Structure 1
């Protein structure tokens, strides 16, 4: 049984990894994040505070627990914040990966690094793993640079790129496009939704399973992990409205240019999943299946707090 250290364990993917490892007993878990532990269960694993930008502390925690694998989920993922605060973006998304790769090389640790479809320009999706990267934003470039660090590193590494992750945490502390759209439509808020960007949304549980499979199989190289359904962002929100029987007339399709967002987004990404399916045994849910899983989790959470 491998000993796995997860960075960013308070985030959506981090909490799903905690949940998966605890429920399946497939690994020993060291959960790490900045600040206090926000996962409700405290037994069956170890939690340690660790800021990935504090290299001496990070090195101390990693050497103290001696993991076999590090699954690195911590990052700045807000595309517009990265555009506005380039120094923060570089510190968290590039320099922290550089430091991690050195520590992993020194201690013979397998590093699984989370990356993104935003390393592509969106002109020729869906993309296979060997496609040339060409980011159009500071965020995308930071992730592409972190990948280059690993390409040139002597540590054992896996890069898992993913797309538009959705799901729910136990404390509802992390939002995403599905939860945002559901909440806004329930409140009767009019929504301008971009109709000329296409994605393959990823259920957080699917991504967590792929990370664990990569750890168990010590799978080297790059893997593309997403849901199986390609859709525009507008179509995605339409599916959300239809699933929860909400008023779709509140939605207005708009162009990317009309939103005047700080950072540019790629138009059409999406992934070819053949490698992950063949090498890892990855089996993604459909978007509707993902919404069904999410709905059950929301009802369970609501029952718990009633």
Structure 2
């Protein structure tokens, strides 16, 4: 059985990978994150504190646990924060990747790296893996730089690009669009939602499954991993309101321009999933199904 090491294991995707490994026992897991372990179950896997900005610590952890594959989920993903703090963004999204690439080359470890639809300009989505990148934000640029480092690496690698990941887990440090919309509307708060951006939102469980499949099938190259339903952000929020029977009159549709965000967003992304379906056996849930899964998990948490 292969041993995987995850970075960012306290995040939404990191916790979903832990959950999946514990439920299905397909792989051995070393979960790593900055600070203490926030996943409620502590048995059945190893946890190690690891700051991806500390190359010495990263090396020590990797040398101790000798993983067959590293799934690199840790990153700075707040698009406006990346624009405002380019130095930290570069350190987390590029320099940390270089540290991992060097170690994977040296120790013959497979690297599964999470990337984003924001590598594209959004002029012509949905996108295939071979389409030309052209980021419109510094976050997107940092992820392109990381992809280039990996593509030039003398190691076995796979890049999984994803879009607008949603889901719920324990002790989340960040919300996501589904939980944000549900929470605001349940509290009768008016919300502004853009109606001129299109995406294929991704259930966190589907992305976690794609990560594990990439290890098991020894995937190599770039893969597009998202949900299969293509919709505007406004449609997405209306579907959330619809599912939980919330008041849609609280939703105001606006243009991206009127938001005045620090960083520019691509207009139309979305992914063509044919390659991941064919090579990995990836089969994502529909958006409505994804909401049903989130709803069930919310009820289980009480």
Q: Distance in 1 between matches of 2:185 and 2:93?
A: 33
* 3-state DSSP of counterpart to 1:252: strand
Q: Look up the match of 2:95.
A: 95
* Partner residue, 2:252: 252
Cα displacement (A) at 1:173: 3.5
User: Which residue in the other structure is 1:279 paired with?
Assistant: 279
Structure 1: tracts of 5 or more residues without a match: none
Unaligned runs of 5+ in 2: none
Which residue in the other structure is 2:108 paired with?
A: 108
1:78-110 CA distances to partner (integer Å, 9 max, x unpaired)? 000000000010000000001100000000000
Give the structure-2-normalised TM-score: 0.99
Partner of 2:71: 71
Where in structure 2 are the equivalents of 1:182-197 lying within 5 Å? Answer: 182-197=182-197
Post-superposition Cα deviations, 1:225-277, rounded to whole Å, max 9, x if no partner, equal: 00010000000000000000000000010000000000000000000000000
Q: Partners in 2 of 1:11 and 1:269 — Cα distance?
A: 24
With the length of structure 1 as denominator, give the TM-score of the two structures: 0.98
Secondary structure of the residue aligned to 2:224 is strand
CA offset at residue 155 of structure 1? 1.3
- Residue 143 of structure 1 and its aligned partner are, at CA, apart by 0.2
* Counterpart Cα distance in 2 of 1:293 and 1:152: 38
CA contact (8 A) 2:11 2:172 kept: no
Q: CA RMSD in A?
A: 0.5
**CA deviation map 1:20-60 (0-9, x unaligned):** 00100000000000000000001000000000000010011
User: Could you say what secondary structure the match of 1:264 adopts?
Assistant: coil
Question: Residue 58 of structure 2 aligns with which residue?
Answer: 58
Distance in 1 between residues matched to 2:215 and 2:56, nearest whole Å? 25
Q: Which residue of the partner structure matches residue 168 of structure 2?
A: 168
Bigger mean CA offset, 167-176 vs 34-43: 167-176
Q: How does 1:90-169 map to 2 (within 5 A)?
A: 90-169=90-169
Distance of 2:131 and 2:295 partners within structure 1? 35
Which aligned runs of 4 or more in structure 1 are off by greater than 6 angstroms? none
Aligned residues: 302
Q: Return the alpha-carbon distance in structure 1 between the equivalents of residues 63 and 297 of structure 2.
A: 36
